[in-house]
Amino acid sequence: MIQLKSFAKINLCLYVLKKRRDGFHEIYTVMQAVDLYDRLSLYRIPEGMTIQTDNPQLPTDRRNLVYKAAELFLNQAKIDSGVRIKIQKRIPLSSGLGGGSSNAAFTLMGLNQLFDAGLSRKKLVEMAKQIGSDVPFFLYSGQAVATGRGEKIREVKLPSDYWIVLIKPDILLSTAWVYKNFKINLTRKRKLIKIYKGKKSFFDSIIGWENELEKASARKYPLLQELREKLKKIGAIKTSMSGSGPTVYGIFLKKPKYKEVKSLKREEWQIWVTRPIPLWVL
């Protein structure tokens, strides 16, 4: 048996470039891992596959990306025994934090270790692309630029000496709905996002980075913009929605005070104070 931490991510920016012939959208995004994580426990068993979780809303069949990842790995690696996987959830479902994609990616890495299969990262990435657009990111370090539909990854090294406050309101947003209702402005000249490695220039530049999907989400739920304003009032230098939402985050140069964060709390919201992580700790 082995255990793994399966980390969440935020999108420091997300630009939608065009709709592709395959129905997906061409995007440009900078993703950053954060130290909010689920815990995966992988057990080798004689045969079959079982997924267990402490979240009753999470399916345990082929609708779960962990099931898809395990099934694909066992077939591709030609493993003749089975696996039992326990998922302890902390990352909310459908939150824009990449929990399902992260679980799938770390399942691939974990099974590679559990069965001593020796598959290369390139091979694991090939599998990840078959599972979901965000899955390949989690097979790299915690900082990367993603293009294509999100599956083309280029690792970058960014400053990580700051704090992130995540707020997940009690709102349901599906990725499909957000993309369907997002309108691409074909006449707007798009800025080329420059990745600055210096601490000061990095923080100066990310203030202007955008998540263009937020336009559609905020039209339906004005609360998202209200949450960003609340984060700014307690000192966030940048606020944004992560992914297709509905989680909103604020970036702070210093750890925000407990009373300030507590003042944001509502009974139906989930809030975390997190840090960015540059590298996975397996």
Which residues participate in catalysis according to the annotation? 9, 134
Of 131, 165, 167, the closest CA to residue 237 belongs to 165
- Rounded distance, CA 30 to CA 52, Å? 32
Which neighbouring-strand residues pair with 211? 14
What are residue 110's phi and psi, to 5 degrees? -65, -40
Which amino acid is residue 219, in one-letter code? R
